[in-house]
Amino acid sequence: MSSHFKKKRGDSKPTISTASLPDIVFMLLFFFMVVTVLRQGEMKLKVVTPEASQLTKLEEKSLVNHIYIGRPIEKYAKIYGTKPRIQLGDLIVDGPANIPLFLEQHKVKVPESRHALITTSLRVDGSVTMGIVQDVKVMLRKSNQLRLNYSAKRKEEASM
């Protein structure tokens, strides 16, 4: 009896069917395609955002434009110095005067009915002083871009 079973098992070829492998991979692929945001250019500034607890999540990526403020990374310190600078898109700009054009370039990609929902995400390094941030804020107010988000990391409340 046992020899009968043994023989039968020896005969069959134990192969795993790989027919469903593409399906599994495609599933993963679609997942990553959906959650992906293609990296927008190169970060030329070192930006470590401060910690905060009262955070709002920015939902729609297409309605958000980013302004970075920080010190240039080592590679660019020769060209741009070590003082805090502003980066719009992937360019380091001279000063806040370039912001209105940058906002306008983003605005044309958004349907007009949603212009009021455009948010500027201000990613500022924690070590920067308020002077340059203030200049950017004034420029945003002048260009009537009033929805602003101070980007920050989540902090668990220690005092509570």
Partner 1 sequence: MLKKRSRNSRGSNEINASSMADIAFLLLIFFLVTTQIVEDKGILVKLPPWSEVPPDPLKLIPRNVFSVLVNSNNQLLVRGEPAEVNELKERAKEFILNPKQREDLSQAPTKAIISLKNDRGTNYKTYIQVYNELKAAYDELWDEECMRKYGVPYSDDLPLEYRKEIKGKIPMVLSEAEPTSYGEE
Under the rule (CB under 8 A), what is the footprint of partner 1? Answer: 18, 21-22, 25-26, 28-29, 32-33, 35-39, 49-50, 52-58, 61, 64, 83-84, 119, 121-122, 124-134, 137-138, 140-142, 144, 146-154, 159
Nearer to partner 1, 6 or 22 (CB): 22
Provide, rounded to whole angstroms, the least separation between the CB of residue 107 and partner 1. Answer: 17
**140, 111 Cβ separation under 8 angstroms:** no
**77, 92 Cβ separation under 8 angstroms:** no
Parallel, antiparallel or unpaired: strands 45-46 and 64-72: antiparallel
Residue 82: burial class (beta carbons within 10 Å; 0-12, 13-18, 19+): exposed
Compute the radius of gyration of the chain from its Cα atoms. 26
Provide, rounded to whole angstroms, the least separation between the CB of residue 79 and partner 1. Answer: 19
Provide, rounded to whole angstroms, the least separation between the CB of residue 28 and partner 1. Answer: 6
Nearer to partner 1, 66 or 76 (CB): 66
